[in-house]
């Protein structure tokens, strides 16, 4: 299949691709993103299409995979946002005088709750929720290098707080 045939394939199936995307994704913007990514990926991998008779099926399969990828990413982002919100609310409650009961929390959790949010959230995501550096970077919209440096600085601040409590 050449470029012109590929262009015609896209134009002929544009409405069907949108309807399929809409059946998986809710927003028009997400459907447009999925369609755009599908066209780009299909164009890049056009050389892998073995039989032109299956081009439409192949294109739809790429679209469906892209829609599922977007939906999964949104689900993870919503879950992360909920967890971050819950962690922040819990940390705020624990830091409010009168609400914090020391016997209920370990020294580690107390020290973690007292860290600045930029370190606390990343440490919790990485160590407690087991997200990778790359996932944290994508979810928080910051470079991977920033995530790594905040992990390192956060660990150091946490260590300092723990050593202060022990009197070391």
**Domain total for the chain?**
2
- Domain presence at residue 93: no
How many C-beta atoms lie closer than 10 Å to residue 2's C-beta?
Answer: 9
Claim to verify: residue 68 and residue 14 sit in the same structural domain: yes
Query: Domain holding 142: CATH number?
Result: 1.10.10.10
Lowest mean pLDDT among 4-18, 32-46, 86-100, 104-118: 86-100
- Domain presence at residue 79: no
- Cβ atoms of 75 and 31 closer than 8 Å: no
Q: Which domain holds residue 137?
A: 101-166
DSSP states of 52-109 as a string? GGGHHHHHHHHHHHHHHHHHHHHHHHHHHHHHHHHHHHHHHHHHSTTT--GGGS-HHH
What is the pTM (predicted TM-score) of this model? 0.52
Claim to verify: residue 106 and residue 68 sit in the same structural domain: no
pLDDT of amino acid 90: 67
pLDDT at 100 over 50: no
- Domain presence at residue 94: no
- Domain presence at residue 88: no
As a dihedral over the C-alpha atoms of residue 144, residue 148, residue 151, residue 153, rounded to 10 degrees, the angle is -130
Query: Domain holding 17: CATH number?
Result: 1.10.1740.10
């Amino acid at each position: 299949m050449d470029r012109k045939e590929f262009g015609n394939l896209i134009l002929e199936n544009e409405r069907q691709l949108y309807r399929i995307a809409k059946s998986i994704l809710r927003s028009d913007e997400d459907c447009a993103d999925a369609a755009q990514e599908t066209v780009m990926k299909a164009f890049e991998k056009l050389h892998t299409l073995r039989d032109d008779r299956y081009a439409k099926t192949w294109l739809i399969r790429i679209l469906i995979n892209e829609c599922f990828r977007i939906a999964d990413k949104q689900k993870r982002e919503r879950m992360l946002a909920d967890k971050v919100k819950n962690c922040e609310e819990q940390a705020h409650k624990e830091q409010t005088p009168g609400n914090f009961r020391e016997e209920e929390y370990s020294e580690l959790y107390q020290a973690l709750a007292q860290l600045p949010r930029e370190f606390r959230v990343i440490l919790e995501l990485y160590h407690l929720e087991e997200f990778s550096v790359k996932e944290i970077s994508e979810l928080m919209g910051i470079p991977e290098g920033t995530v790594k440096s905040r992990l390192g600085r956060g660990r150091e601040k946490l260590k300092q707080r723990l050593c202060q409590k022990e009197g070391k």
